[in-house]
Amino acid sequence: MLLFFYKKYKFRGEVHLFSDYRFRDYQPASLRKDFISGITVGIVAIPLGMAFAMASGVKPEYGIYTTIIAGLLVSLLGGSRFQIAGPTGAFIPILLAVVLQYGYENLLVAGLMAGVMLVIMSFFRLGNLIHFIPRSVTIGFTTGIAVIIFSGQIGNFFGLTGLEKKEYFHENMLEIFRHFGTLNGYSILTAIIGLIAIMTVPRISRRIPVLLVGLIIPTVVSVIFYPTHVETVGTAFGGIPQSLPDFKFPDITLGKIRELFVPALVIAALGAIESLLSAVVADGMTNQKHHSNRELFGQGIANIVAPLFGGIPATGAIARTATNIKSGAVSRLSGVIHSLFVLVTLLLFAPYASHIPLAAMAPLLMFVAWNMAELKSFKQLLKLKTSDSVVLVTTFLLTVFVNLTVAVQVGILLAILSFIKKKSEMLQVNQKQDALDLTSHLRYKTFTIKGPLFFGTAQAFEHLLHSSLESPPRVIILNMSEVTTIDATGEEKLASFIKSFKKSGGTILISGLPDWGMELFQKSGLFDYLGNDSFYTDEESATGSIDYHLKTVVGD
């Protein structure tokens, strides 16, 4: 039924998944490359899936379930050939807040609702809206999320006990300070071993899965030398089941939908942003082009299905997608193999995961946070000392100290206000010196309007015109050849000035108005009010018609 629905879903100008163009030149060598890249990404995805789930306040197996189900569905239905989906670090503060406030069961409901929202977004073709989110906002909240992830692992790194997870950053920092006396030397040793492994392995070979090695080495050391002195996945969560969970539809009520609407919307929005950013990164690495709306559709279906098996919200993962490409992936089959590999690993080796120390997970997540922080871009935007810098810092601070929802809303609002301010400064109304018509011996003024005439500049435009008419002439020529846009507010202010001037006995002539402006005035009625003979193709033609208009007025 799902495949039938997908086939029926038409994406304008896009080739369907089930056409054969993707596998037309597929060779055995391509299958080998996809197999190797799929296994490689699967090895990377297993520790990340577990770590992100635990950092989000849920059991590690839920991250594994999400990796399997969402990874498979996005690979089959998404709009990017190389996209790898699963739990991501960006979701951690949002999911943790939902779990703390509403509980795990309601997180599943919110995730399913987010999936429905993503599918709706794809139907309304909102995929391209990603390009309208300012870079200062994305870097601000991404770096803020990185700070939250990094700081959230301080407790596990030092083996602190008695910590309670709080919703706000400063509350969690206070918890760490209060319990810092409970630090565990064995946990610190385990975390340092893992950190050294993560920093050293890439220098030895780029082919070795650094995150897996960084997890295995400290785990082996702790199991051999001090198995009972550190908290593990098993002691904290009771181990990982060696099977997939049963299908279970969440308990959804109208009250829950109302209560979870905002969290679901935030999950959907962030999922859309991160998945499309990941797809853009994949495009740049492969010279391919993803299909934004189909990507949203695939992400939506994945987030609808994953909660039915206990999975948490998922999105496109930039690091895993990049790993997939660097490992030689040829087609979306690599993503399918990645999911199947994680499934087989779960079925065969799940019991061993219970021995993983939480302290070994800490440097792994800190490493992920450090890589996603975009510190270089953050510093560059900060050095600009422009409105973008203000948006960046505001978004960052609100992400860390309040929440991502408020941060993105305020960040985008500030960016819009900054944009409006910049646009308003582009409007120019240049007045020529009073001129004398040689035939009628009457004074007239010419105003040249340049730039956008919209709600952000309309008030200033009206003020400029009125302030320059202390001794009003009989005729005004408005040269509008360099007007870039006119919105409803701009048209209303212009119409108000024209009507006021005509009532005082003056004559308005408009020259150089673009075709789109003429069409706007015809729809608004301003064209009929002035009359066809008040519009001229250029300023010279308008000036030459002054005597005609004055005679017409006298004749009336």
Per-residue pLDDT tens over the stretch 16-27: 444 434 556 677
Examine the pLDDT at 29 and tell me if it is beyond 90: no
Examine the pLDDT at 438 and tell me if it is beyond 60: no
CA separation, residue 56 to residues 113, 115, 148, 294 (Å)? 18, 18, 11, 28
Examine the pLDDT at 547 and tell me if it is beyond 80: no
Question: At 436, is the pLDDT very low, low, confident or very high (cuts 50, 70, 90)?
Answer: low
Examine the pLDDT at 143 and tell me if it is beyond 60: yes
- Average pLDDT of the segment spanning 107-126: 95
pLDDT for position 287: 87
Least confident of 45-54, 291-300, 410-419: 410-419
Least confident of 146-155, 444-453, 462-471: 462-471
pLDDT for position 65: 96
The percent of residues above 90 in pLDDT, for the chain, comes to: 56
- Average pLDDT of the segment spanning 402-417: 87
Angle between helices 210-225 and 358-372 (to 10 degrees): 160
Asked if 537 contacts 477 with a C-beta cutoff of 8 angstroms, the reply is no
pLDDT for position 552: 62
**196: CB partners within 8 A, 6+ apart:** none
Residues of each domain in the chain carrying CATH 3.30.750.24: 428-555
pLDDT for position 433: 60
Residues facing residue 509 across a β-bridge: 477
- Average pLDDT of the segment spanning 357-372: 91
Question: At 318, is the pLDDT very low, low, confident or very high (cuts 50, 70, 90)?
Answer: confident
CATH fold of 428-555 reads: Transcription Regulator spoIIAA (3.30.750)
pLDDT for position 422: 83
CA–CA gap between residue 81 and residue 77 (Å, rounded)? 10
- Average pLDDT of the segment spanning 291-316: 96
pLDDT for position 553: 54
- Average pLDDT of the segment spanning 168-197: 94
- Average pLDDT of the segment spanning 480-505: 90
Examine the pLDDT at 13 and tell me if it is beyond 50: no
The percent of residues above 70 in pLDDT, for the chain, comes to: 91
Examine the pLDDT at 12 and tell me if it is beyond 60: no
Q: Where are the alpha helices (DSSP H) in 313-403?
A: 318-326, 333-349, 358-372, 375-384, 387-401
CA–CA gap between residue 432 and residue 448 (Å, rounded)? 8
- Average pLDDT of the segment spanning 103-113: 96
pLDDT for position 555: 47
pLDDT for position 315: 95
Q: Where are the alpha helices (DSSP H) in 159-205?
A: 169-178, 185-204
- Average pLDDT of the segment spanning 116-142: 88
